[in-house]
Amino acid sequence: MAGPLTNYRFWAYAGFAILLLALPLVGDEFWLNRVAKYLCYGMLGAAVALTWGYAGVLNLGQGLFFGIGAYAMAMALKLKSYTSLQQGSDQPVPDFMLWNAQPGAPTELCCITPGSWMWLPFQWQWTGVIVAVVLPAILAGIMGRIIFGQRISGVFVSIITLALVLLVRLVVTDAQPLTNGFNGLTDLGWLTVFGHEFDPYAKGTYYLVAVALILVLGLSRLLVATRAGTILQATRDSDTRALYLGYDVPAYQTFFFAVSAAIAGLAGMLYVIVSEFASPSFLELSFSITMVVWAAVGGRGSILGAAVGAILINMIEAHVSETESLVEAWKAIIGLLFVVTVIYLPKGLAGFAHERIARLAGPRAALQLKEEAGQ
Amino acid sequence: MTAALMLDGLAVDFSGFRAVDGVSMAVEQGELRVLLGANGAGKTTLMDLISGKTRATEGKVLVQGRDVTGLREHRIARAGVGRKFQIPSVFSGLTVRQNLEVAQSKRPSVWSNLRFALGMSEKARLGEVLELIGLEAEAEREAGLLSHGQTQWLELGMLMIQDASVILLDEPTAGMTQGETAKTAEIINRLKGRHTLLVVEHDMAFVRDIAERITVLHLGRVLAEGNVAFIENHPEVKAAYLGKQGIA
Ligand SMILES: Nc1ncnc2c1ncn2[C@@H]1O[C@H](COP(=O)(O)OP(=O)(O)OP(=O)(O)O)[C@@H](O)[C@H]1O
Ligand SMILES: [Mg+2]
């Protein structure tokens, strides 16, 4: 099965995994905490590549799924926070609910503010974990069925997803007594698994995120290598042709849309564990667009490339923000970077690397591929 | 034996304009039927009606005796109808081999395709089709890089491997050189028997190469039906092609 072309792909993934796992040897906890956030962004890059690169569907509202994952986890961790346990009730009650409660309202999670009962299941931390991944997938499934089922495509999908994330942002900021509005959810507790507490500044938490990213990248890569993955790419190139071959094109688009949403939800969930806050800024349009830039620069046709693009850009941004004079210019720099890649490297860094390697491997690679096929 | 493709009083009304106006015909198993007609006669529209792209306002389409009228496109495709459009369409970002693999998949659902390898018999068939369409040397090339003729052959190969019982071909030689046209005729002749074909074609030399029976459409209706000699000497057909001195 393994020719030189498939081989170098494998080694790119393996090399990346080894690098991630080795990082704790060279950096301190604060730096690792920061890198862990970028790894979450890397996951987002991969999620964007999956829909944009492989399905040809540009989701401009990927932040919605990230946001859902983040809020679900943050709700569970908020209830584990020390402050929530100090409100004089048997059950934990988030501090901001107290500030927002009507005078005379019972200090109980069930009914302190309108809708606060929605928080009840989140007393069990795993509710947050499960909802963070499953709800985005279900929501994307429903959205996909409607959008793709109506044969809506191209820029219209982008507009719909964009509108949706803005709508949800409006609702979240508006529902102050339920979500703490603009302030978001801060002052969170820690995720606890089998008695182990995931301190955001401990190496264990870094490893949690790193292993999650490695798994997401590996599994996504396998997924697009299945026949279903090939068929998905076929629908991207010509949905009519795929339809006339008997494929239910919307089903394929919806499936991968949902997988991508689940990955974004997972990224949001891990991000909260690492950063200890969830904020409506995750639902801002600029954040969703930034993800698209990461994927474009890294290479939307490559899961790994898009993830690396996200991580690299954020590392550079962190460096730049240490230089006062460059902070202001950063938005312009990133915009320029986007334009330059789109024009000169339409397949991003990964596409560039791929072409280089293919040229180096040259005729030998082609020969080996033929032999594989002949087996 | 039931006809492979049976049309019964098929018609479509585009807000008053009947582009196809009560067409009935039966195409036997393994037959190759050529559809002739002047520009705008309704040939492409007829194929749209059969394949589900356009909904018929009247009449019925039966494929292998099964009524597929009004089904959605992918369902009609699964019922055994394959179609090639006037403008060739393949998956340009995939390799030639991958194009054929996608066309080959027997089970269409997402879940049943979450697997990797092709079976032995599938691989063998894929190799066979690659040879038939003469693209073995291009198997690992991106389909978007193929020449116009090669693209058309790849699409024919996809219809072969899809194993559609009824194949609709809309002007398969449009824009081809003479050499390419000859090769296409060869490929189409090899499809006969195993598949039932309905072919729209203007090039009479090509039609003589491949045709058994011809159906002539005129203004959305069947004007005549018969073998090549019969059609070429048919007075009404000649009249319909007025100014062209018969079918040139
Ligand atoms: N969706 C539609 N709405 C209205 N009129 C249509 C529609 N589709 C086709 N027509 C008309 O129906 C007639 C038949 O068109 P059709 O494309 O079937 O002809 P054709 O026989 O394939 O011609 P050609 O040889 O030029 O390809 C034309 O007059 C065309 O303008
Ligand atoms: Mg036509």
Residue B87, domain member (yes or no)? no
Cβ atoms A173, A280 nearer than 8 A? yes
Residue A90 confidence (pLDDT):
78
Report pLDDT for B1.
Answer: 66
Both tokens of B52, joined, read 């589900």
Q: Are residues B58 and B128 in the same domain?
A: no
Both B74 and B182 in one domain: the answer is yes
Ligand number nearest CA of B36 is 1
Residue B40 shares a structural domain with residue B73: yes
Cα(B41) to centroid(ligand 1), Å: 7
**B1 plus B50 within the same structural domain:** yes
Q: Please answer yes or no on whether B108 and A248 come within 8 Å at the CB atom.
A: yes
Q: What is the ipTM of this complex?
A: 0.88
Instruction: State which amino acid sits at residue A72.
Output: A
Specify the pLDDT at position A169: 97
Q: What is the pLDDT of residue B244?
A: 53
pLDDT given at position B55: 94
> From first to last of its 375 residues, what are the pLDDT tens digits of chain A?
444 456 788 899 999 999 999 999 998 999 999 999 999 999 999 999 999 999 999 999 999 999 999 999 999 999 999 888 877 777 898 999 988 888 888 888 888 888 899 999 999 999 999 999 999 999 999 999 999 999 898 899 999 999 999 999 999 999 999 999 999 999 999 999 998 999 999 999 999 999 999 999 999 999 999 999 999 999 999 999 999 999 999 999 999 999 999 999 999 999 999 999 999 999 999 999 999 999 999 999 999 999 999 999 999 888 887 787 777 788 788 888 888 988 899 899 998 888 888 788 765 555 454 444 443
Of A226, A62, A180, nearest in space to B117 by CA? A226
Rounded to 5°, angle at Cα A57 from A65 and B92:
150
User: In this structure, are B73 and B102 located in the same domain?
Assistant: no
- CA B101 to CA A230: how far, in whole Å? 9
Q: Which helix (H) or strand (E) holds A174?
A: helix A155-174
* Domain span holding position B51: 1-80+168-248
Of B13, B20, B44, which is best to mutate to test ligand 1, by the most ligand atoms within 8 angstroms of its C-beta?
A: B44
User: Chain A within 8 Å of B221 (Cβ-Cβ)?
Assistant: no
The rounded distance, in Å, linking the Cα atoms of A74 and A200 is 13
Given an 8 Å threshold on Cβ–Cβ distance, is B115 in contact with A227? Answer: yes
Note whether B46 contacts A: Cβ–Cβ < 8 A: no
Give pLDDT tens digits for B55-91.
999 999 999 999 999 999 999 999 999 999 888 889 9
Residue B242 lies in a domain: yes
The verdict on B90 touching A (C-beta cutoff 8 Å) is yes
Contact A223 B89 (CB under 8 A): no
Decide whether any atom of ligand 1 lies within 6 Å of the B43 Cβ.
yes
Alpha carbon distance B164, A245 (integer Å): 9
Residues B248 and B230 in one domain: yes
What pLDDT is stored for residue A5 in this prediction? 54
* Residue of B74, B91, B115 lying closest to A234 (CB–CB): B91
Cβ–ligand 1 contact at B144 (below 6 Å): no
Distance B11 CA to ligand 1 centre (A): 13
Q: How many domains, in total, are found in chain B?
A: 2
Q: Is B93 on the interface with A (CB under 8 A)?
A: yes
In chain A the domains, ranked by start, together with CATH numbers, are 4-372 (1.10.3470)
Nearest by CB to residue B89, choosing from A228, A241, A373, is A241
Q: Are residues B56 and B131 in the same domain?
A: no
Amino acid at B17: F
**Which protein residue has the closest C-alpha to ligand 1 atom 9?**
B45
- Is the pLDDT score of B220 beyond 50? yes
Q: Which of B163, B186, B210 is the last residue of a domain?
A: B163
Q: Which residue of B has its CA nearest to A373?
A: B123
In this structure, the answer to whether residues B8 and B69 fall within a common structural domain is yes
pLDDT score recorded for residue A371: 46
User: Which of A46-50, B119-123, B190-194 holds the top average pLDDT?
Assistant: A46-50
CB atoms within 10 A of CB B177: 12
Percent of chain B with pLDDT over 90: 64
In a domain, residue B39? The reply is: yes
If you measure from the C-alpha of residue B182 to the centroid of ligand 2, how many angstroms do you get, rounded to a whole number?
A: 21
